[in-house]
Structure 1
């Protein structure tokens, strides 16, 4: 299906590709609108904090583009793209998206939930960095083995189960139930169908948008290596970007934070786990990842961890600007080190 879309888009002139990009960005934003509205509404129905909904259901939906790209890349023998897409997406999510969201509106932090989910987020990044080290593969470069991929998937299932259990036992549940919207809610089956439609719209739009952006970039002379390291990661993170910005504009900043925290965890456990699990030889870690990709991921996760634990219980605009700045430096270094 991806090849068919790519071949079809390749026949379009640049002007038409730009129109396709604009159109898919619009449908992406509408899908995110539906996704946020129904996720928040479901959190009230189920008595689950919005941040937990963001960190599980919404994150699973918006992380599917990364998973599909990385799994297909791994199957096709391109571990650089599979691993780079996942790590790059973590950097985009935590640097660019949280940074922009903090600059646009308020990003309140539920301290208890961030203490739990945020700790998993940071430890997942550390786990990825550790298992990527060459010392575990007896070679010059590291390798994330197939069995480690299955371990990641097992950890993913455990994470989702424990997250829901935490939410059910949390006092925050009572507070969230008081959050009403002044309007009659649809039956839960209708909300679930709308949520599913929003996820399909977001992912479907991404499937068209990503190759359209790639083809346009190649035609105007951007090297393919740079596209793999930055543009693909940015493209697959567009659902998180639009969902987070939409959530902040609607006054649900905690959903945006929960979505990104969950997306970072899923990029390690779900995206990399799935990509490694489907390849007998595992995912080889390129040498250059130790110079830029992995260190930047750890730095930006550590910075977010510190900012989410400040006494103001929110990510401030200054902190958002710093996260955004780290991402921009990373982006520039990707272009200058090629």
Structure 2
């Protein structure tokens, strides 16, 4: 039964991603909002919903290793495997704002996480914790990111030339909202089924909470980003694909960890310091690759995929 529910979850994720991309792209056209902004907000937060759900539930249940491991593992997977596979299928076009602002913001978010969990190193306490005050700091950073995105959307609308939108091609407001909501619901429910059942399978094999968070839960809850980004790339919406990945990484750290730590302070496993440093290195790689002709090509995508596989083998052996 567990394996059947896992397959149902995958099916919902795939079909939901297809509907969600179509609906959100058409809404962007009707609003005259650049696809990049849609990727950074609606798509990123929507596909980040499984991570948010899993991490907050884990925080409520006192499973801090699953909460933090899920976020760090998901971000590593997003920036390496999701970008890698998507770019290998179809080279990802990178917008200038993504290179100058969004990727650096994702890097700074990870630095903030590294600093806020280093309580022992900084001589604050004897235990590394993400406290409620740390959570408030994360949410303040998140509000700054939201302000930037809203301003960017408003400026882009003011700068764009007014042109008629082909309603027959894009569909009506009501139809697109319905498609987007239905797609998002399928993504969230599909992600929930995948995470719950894959976690149950993992526990049966005797894996630790940290390893489960970094691998099974991270992979399961990142499937919406993976499938949505691949779907977007195949539909030639590469701005949505990369915006979705970067936006989800920022959302995961600043919003999800922020809310989870306010609910319950999160003790940090010392092993996670290595994983956060890996995340920083991968973000730097993404920044460098993005600057080459403003796209992430097939070979760069392959390199990111290989880096993730090496990391995955290491953490499985480590635990």
TM more than 0.5: yes
TM-score (norm 2): 0.92
Matched, 1:303 2:285: yes
Structure 2 residue runs of 5 or longer lacking an equivalent are none
Q: Which residue of structure 2 lines up, in the alignment, with residue 142 of structure 1? A: 128
Matched, 1:186 2:167: no
Secondary structure in 2 matching 1:287? coil
Secondary structure in 2 matching 1:237? helix
Task: Say if 2:12 and 2:190, in contact at 8 Å, map to a contact too.
Answer: yes
Task: Say if 2:106 and 2:249, in contact at 8 Å, map to a contact too.
Answer: yes
1:72 and 1:23, CA in 2 relative to 1: closer, same or farther beyond 3 A?
Answer: closer
Q: Which residue of structure 2 lines up, in the alignment, with residue 262 of structure 1? A: 247
1:315 and 1:183, CA in 2 relative to 1: closer, same or farther beyond 3 A?
Answer: farther
Task: Say if 1:49 and 1:173, in contact at 8 Å, map to a contact too.
Answer: no
1:85 and 1:178, CA in 2 relative to 1: closer, same or farther beyond 3 A?
Answer: farther
Q: Distance in 2 between matches of 1:272 and 1:22?
A: 29
Deviations 1:200-224 (A, max 9, x none): 11001111121222233444x3524
1:288 to 249, 260, 271: 271
Secondary structure in 1 matching 2:160? helix
Deviations 1:302-333 (A, max 9, x none): 111121122x1100112111211221111011
Deviations 1:286-306 (A, max 9, x none): 11112x211111111111112
Q: Distance in 2 between matches of 1:25 and 1:81?
A: 21
Q: Which residue of structure 2 lines up, in the alignment, with residue 229 of structure 1? A: 214
1:151-162 map, 5 Å = 151-162=137-148
Report the Cα offset of residue 151 of structure 1: 2.1
Task: Say if 1:70 and 1:85, in contact at 8 Å, map to a contact too.
Answer: yes
Deviations 1:9-51 (A, max 9, x none): xxx3xxxx33332222112111000110111111111111101
Matched, 1:89 2:71: no
Task: Say if 1:49 and 1:172, in contact at 8 Å, map to a contact too.
Answer: no
1:295 and 1:179, CA in 2 relative to 1: closer, same or farther beyond 3 A?
Answer: farther
Q: Distance in 2 between matches of 1:309 and 1:178?
A: 32
1:179 and 1:109, CA in 2 relative to 1: closer, same or farther beyond 3 A?
Answer: farther
Report the Cα offset of residue 137 of structure 1: 6.0
How many residues are matched?
Answer: 317
Q: Distance in 2 between matches of 1:331 and 1:104?
A: 22
1:313-324 map, 5 Å = 313-324=294-305
Task: Say if 1:52 and 1:167, in contact at 8 Å, map to a contact too.
Answer: yes
Q: Which residue of structure 2 lines up, in the alignment, with residue 7 of structure 1? A: none
Q: Distance in 1 between matches of 2:97 and 2:164?
A: 18
Task: Say if 2:66 and 2:212, in contact at 8 Å, map to a contact too.
Answer: no
Q: Which residue of structure 1 lines up, in the alignment, with residue 311 of structure 2? A: 330
Task: Say if 1:84 and 1:229, in contact at 8 Å, map to a contact too.
Answer: yes
Q: Distance in 2 between matches of 1:313 and 1:288?
A: 35
Report the Cα offset of residue 138 of structure 1: 2.7
Task: Say if 1:248 and 1:256, in contact at 8 Å, map to a contact too.
Answer: yes
Task: Say if 2:37 and 2:243, in contact at 8 Å, map to a contact too.
Answer: yes
TM-score (norm 1): 0.87
Q: Distance in 2 between matches of 1:42 and 1:286?
A: 42
Q: Distance in 2 between matches of 1:260 and 1:121?
A: 10
Structure 1 residue runs of 5 or longer lacking an equivalent are 1-11
Report the Cα offset of residue 270 of structure 1: 1.0
Higher alpha-carbon deviation: 24-33 or 155-164: 155-164
Q: Distance in 1 between matches of 2:147 and 2:315?
A: 37
